[in-house]
Amino acid sequence: MVSETASGRTALAGIALMAGGIFLFAVNDALGKWLVATYAVGQVLLIRSLAALVPLAPFIARDRATFRIAPRWGMQVLRAVLATIEVACFYWALAYLPLADVMTYYLAGPIFVTAIAGALLREPVGWRRWGAVAAGFVGVVVALRPGTAALSWPALIALGGSFTFSLSMIATRFLRGTSDTVLVTTQTAGALTFGAMAAPFAWVSPDAGDLALLMLLGIVAMVAHVCVNRSLKLAPASVVVPYQYTTIIWAVLFGYLVFGDVPDAWMLAGAAIIIAAGLFIYWHERRLSPHQPAFSEPAP
């Protein structure tokens, strides 16, 4: 009885950390949308990455030996490049689209992963998962609001970012033996490098308040990553990972309260279809491989 009670409390702690981490990611996304209205994506990524190195530094110092033994550095660099492209697309799309719309397109990441995993990872994809993939793509089309006027280039940027996000997740699967510190550090270094190259071409000197917000962007993202990673260590992935989909709730709420965005029926219906397809794929994979680690990462 004591053991079951302790296990239940640990699971609840894991759920709380996952829900809290997703909330922080949503805050980070809303803050990013606010900032890209004034500052270029390169500048946002530069200051965000520099700020993220502050809480990351103690972990780098503690785990410095893991950098020497990290496998497949070519794949590590490719993953960092993919992660940089997808986060740049994310913030670029946020400058033009409602927050909930961008998050809906990024929720399709697991759908893209399943669709291309068979070719890249030589994994079997049965008819059930192919059916879920097809349903997920229908959800994307619905979210795009049928009609040529809805297929705008910002929507295509968001979809491109979502696809690149899925490629970065597949690269992460190739690197599953790598420590979290190495993965987060290389990802941060990639965004920092891109920001340093791009920021000078569209630099806007921030005032003290905006500089604090730009730095907060990186710190909040790092804390959110810690919460999500810790939740997966405290509770089974099958218990906590579905809570990642609460991100659409916060996206709709923050979009309405902060930016006055009112989601339409097409976006909500598309999001519902994508979430249902993603959950089906996740639970189906867990049933087939119950001992495999969770294959899911939150969006930026």
Torsion of CA 13, 217, 55, 229, to 10 degrees: 30
> What are the angstrom distances between the C-alpha of 22 and each of 93, 231, 260?
20, 11, 22
State residue 155's pLDDT score: 86
DSSP 178: S
Measured between alpha carbons, how far is 36 from 40 in angstroms, rounded to an integer? 6
pLDDT at 35 (0 to 100): 94
Tell me the C-alpha distance between 249 and 247, whole Å: 5
Q: CB of 17 within 8 A of CB of 241?
A: no
Distances (CA, A) of 27 to 52, 148, 252, 268, 295: 15, 32, 12, 20, 23
Distance CA 106, CA 125 (A): 22
Tell whether the torsion through CA atoms of 293, 45, 51 and 24 is positive or negative: negative
- C-alpha distances (whole Å) from 29 to each of 26, 53, 139, 153, 165 are 5, 19, 22, 20, 15
Residue with tokens 């049928």, as numbered in its chain: 146
| DSSP sequence for 63-131 | THHHHHH-S-HHHHHHHHHHHHHHHHHHHHHHTTS-HHHHHHHHTTHHHHHHHHHHHHH-----HHHHH
Give pLDDT, residue 238. Answer: 62
Distance CA 57, CA 50 (A): 11
CB 157 within 8 Å of CB 299: no
- pLDDT of the residue at 121: 61
pLDDT at 280: 82
Name every residue whose Cβ is closer than 8 Å to that of residue 75 and which is 6 or more positions away in sequence.
171, 174, 175
Output the pLDDT for position 148.
47
CA–CA separation, 102 and 162 (whole Å): 9
HEC readout, 11-30: HHHHHHHHHHHHHHHHHHHH
pLDDT by residue for the chain (300 residues), tens only, comes to 445 555 667 778 888 888 898 899 899 999 999 999 999 999 999 999 999 998 889 989 998 888 888 888 888 999 999 999 999 999 999 999 899 889 888 888 777 777 776 666 666 667 777 787 788 888 888 887 765 445 688 888 998 998 898 888 788 878 877 888 888 899 899 999 999 999 999 999 999 999 999 999 989 988 888 888 778 777 766 677 778 888 888 999 999 999 998 888 888 888 888 888 888 877 766 665 554 544 456 666
Q: What's the pLDDT score for residue 145?
A: 73
Q: How far apart are CA 245 and CA 227, in angstroms?
A: 15
